[in-house]
Chains A and B, each alone.
Chain A
Amino acid sequence: MLLSLPALHLQTSEHHPLFQLPHGRLGPWCSPTGSPAPLSCETGCGEGSWILVCRLLVPTQVSLLSMEEDIDTRKINNSFLRDHSYATEADIISTVEFNHTGELLATGDKGGRVVIFQREQESKNQVHRRGEYNVYSTFQSHEPEFDYLKSLEIEEKINKIRWLPQQNAAYFLLSTNDKTVKLWKVSERDKRPEGYNLKDEEGRLRDPATITTLRVPVLRPMDLMVEATPRRVFANAHTYHINSISVNSDYETYMSADDLRINLWNFEITNQSFNIVDIKPANMEELTEVITAAEFHPHHCNTFVYSSSKGTIRLCDMRASALCDRHTKFFEEPEDPSNRSFFSEIISSISDVKFSHSGRYIMTRDYLTVKVWDLNMENRPIETYQVHDYLRSKLCSLYENDCIFDKFECVWNGSDSVIMTGSYNNFFRMFDRNTKRDVTLEASRENSKPRAILKPRKVCVGGKRRKDEISVDSLDFSKKILHTAWHPSENIIAVAATNNLYIFQDKVN
């Protein structure tokens, strides 16, 4: 059922930065929302409409033009922004993640960069600007590496970012490529000490003989600087490609999973990890299944799940044994005989698994559906949502062009009442678990006009195509929404479309 959307006007603002960068890449711009009210997530997606908050292009060299520039000195030309696209392959966003408060939003891209956005602070004067995100920090997390032993290049693409809960003034996150996990510390510096006795202002040592008076160094304010430093590097523990990392609820350990193994790490120890799952067969010729995703339970630090390419989920308890090759629970839905095809296994392969915030459910994404499972029921999911069932008759073509192997992610909203996942043609879908309503929205530059709201989209399967519908054959399969994120407590979502990051906010009348 479609949502009725009230008219809403977006205004462009002169106060938003445009960074004109040497490579011709564009910096972020934001348009404010027309509506101020923050929303509790209990309203779900059925009650309101979705509006574009900002569309952000990941900048290349933020260090040249950082946040502390006066807003007044920046010049904006929105039409210029809209007509230019300087996307390179390295700019393709490969992961998106809010931190635990939703204040920060991190993206990783194929070029190994991490860009962190920070939410605009609420102010009485500019209430309408709440809910926008601006660049906070950018750093190169991973570089391309060459493995001399195997004569292989290791991609620098960031596969996953996971935040640690904040315990002091600094922020910590884990970022990983195919082989190496890194712990990054992101901290602010807004004061600097001045008035050293033994050093002059440039840092040169002074001759002690020339010092006649002593003074106490003082901290003086300086322009805000955000620095990211690598605190730990967890390397050489994965032969195969890392697909998941997950921080444990004990905040002392985390796991990293590759195609065949899962390792448990302590944040303080980088030269050893514990192997807790190993599904590599003794004889590699017998390999028929790989691990596709893994996650810790949000509250029970001994419990985790991992999914497989055969559509199964295993829940493991680390208290049971050191090597969790024997699962505590095994979730699998019996195959539907009427839908059986040569591609049954490929489309059953799970691309993402996520615990609900409550810890009672897990959600899995396979090629055509999203499923919600109750941890207490292993033989079938409690809910199944069709993401794009019209593709079921096109599986052969999708197999031919390899789209059938695309790995879509899925996310819960803060109250576990709505789930979201991406599709093709820059479409993404939301399903309200309570009202059973669903909506298809599009993240595209056409929707980025000022005063634009998101119109629900509909794919026409057959028969007469209505005016606003799009036919299956017109879908652009190169525009895929694989990565999305939902703010932990508000109805703010981040949707990655190639090199663009869209931030949408729910509006309630």
Chain B
Amino acid sequence: TMLSKGLKRKREEEEEEEEKETLAVDAWWLDPGHPAVAQAPPTVASSSLFDLSVIKLHHSLRQSEPDLRHLVLVVNTLRRIQASMAPTAALPSVPNLHPTPSMDDNLVASSDAGLSASVASLLEDLSHIEDLSQAPQPPADEVPPGRPIGGAPPSLGALDLLGPATSCLLDDGLEGLFEDIDTSMYDSELWAPASEGFKPGPEDGPGKEEAPELDEAELDYLMDVLVGTQALERPPGPGR
């Protein structure tokens, strides 16, 4: 009845891509506790909104540099929807119009796990990228609050000179910087793609552990050598 009407209207909206068409019963999207929603089974309405939010989240995550505000708001909204869906499905008073409530629960559970994992990994990636770009500066927790933070570190300029191939140069040892490269002597596997480990993205995950990751200490050491304050003492080990 009301459910099928609304569902149909929603799909029509999507098919026609008519943004200006009014959703007459926008009240669906209210909290399930709201009296206006009590008549319609919130599970189905919320799952459309849930799907929409997941799509938005993935779209946001796919950006090379996500809009943090947009991301945070979508994630928080998604969490609200999730929170409302789980207990609602369990309520015996809700009319069981949905054909397979158990499947719905599994959907929620698996979506939840996948969602949390992708959000967590993306936010962690964002954190790593920041650490990377600020590696020449003291880490935030070592600096007393309010201390000045270097605004124009010369070391970043040196990294620019090295170019995107930084990771493979570090892997190969510092000697590689100063010697003529005889490619026949080197195993091609040592020359890992420069972009690995630098870009955030959904594809970055636990499977990329073998990608070279710059160690802050190594980076500091390299900077010191390049600016001449540190003599070559030992070649750093291969990147982890």
Contact = CB atoms under 8 A, between A and B. Distances in A.
B52 interface: yes
B199 interface: yes
A273 B132 CA distance: 20
A496 B129 CA distance: 36
10 contacts: A271-B152, A272-B151, A273-B151, A274-B146, A276-B146, A288-B72, A346-B77, A394-B22, A395-B29, A400-B52
B127 interface: yes
Given A235-B151, A276-B146, A342 B29 contact: yes
Nearest to A478: B19
Nearest to A392: B26
Contact of A341 (B29, B145, B149): B29
Residue from B80, B81, B148 having most chain A Cβ neighbours under 10 A? B148
A213 interface: no
B195 A394 contact: no
A264 to B, nearest CB: 9
Contacts of A292: 69
Interface of A: 147-153, 234-237, 239-241, 259-260, 263, 270-276, 278, 280, 284-285, 287-290, 292, 309, 321-323, 325, 340-343, 345-346, 349, 393-397, 399-402, 405, 472-475, 477
B145 to A, nearest CB: 3
Contact of B119 (A273, A274, A285, A349): A285
Nearest to A178: B65
Interface stretch (B86-94, B159-167, B231-239): B159-167
Interface of B: 13, 19-23, 26-31, 34, 49, 52, 56, 64-65, 67-70, 72-73, 75-77, 80-81, 84, 119-120, 123-124, 126-127, 129-130, 132-134, 140, 144-153, 156, 159-160, 163-164, 195, 198-200
B151 A270 contact: yes
B68 A241 contact: yes
A270 to B, nearest CB: 6
Secondary structure at the B interface, as helix, strand, loop or mixed, is helix
A400 B72 CA distance: 16
A271 B70 CA distance: 31
Given A236-B156, A323-B145, A400-B52, A150 B151 contact: no
A284 B124 contact: yes
Given A271-B151, A309-B73, A321-B146, 13 more contacts: A149-B198, A270-B152, A274-B146, A276-B146, A287-B68, A343-B77, A346-B73, A394-B26, A396-B49, A405-B69, A405-B70, A405-B73, A473-B20
B76 A236 contact: no
Given A149-B156, A151-B195, A285 B148 contact: no
Contact of A345 (B21, B64, B76): B76
Contacts of B145: 275, 278, 321-323, 325
B133 A472 contact: no
B235 to A, nearest CB: 23
Nearest to A292: B69
Contacts of B70: 405
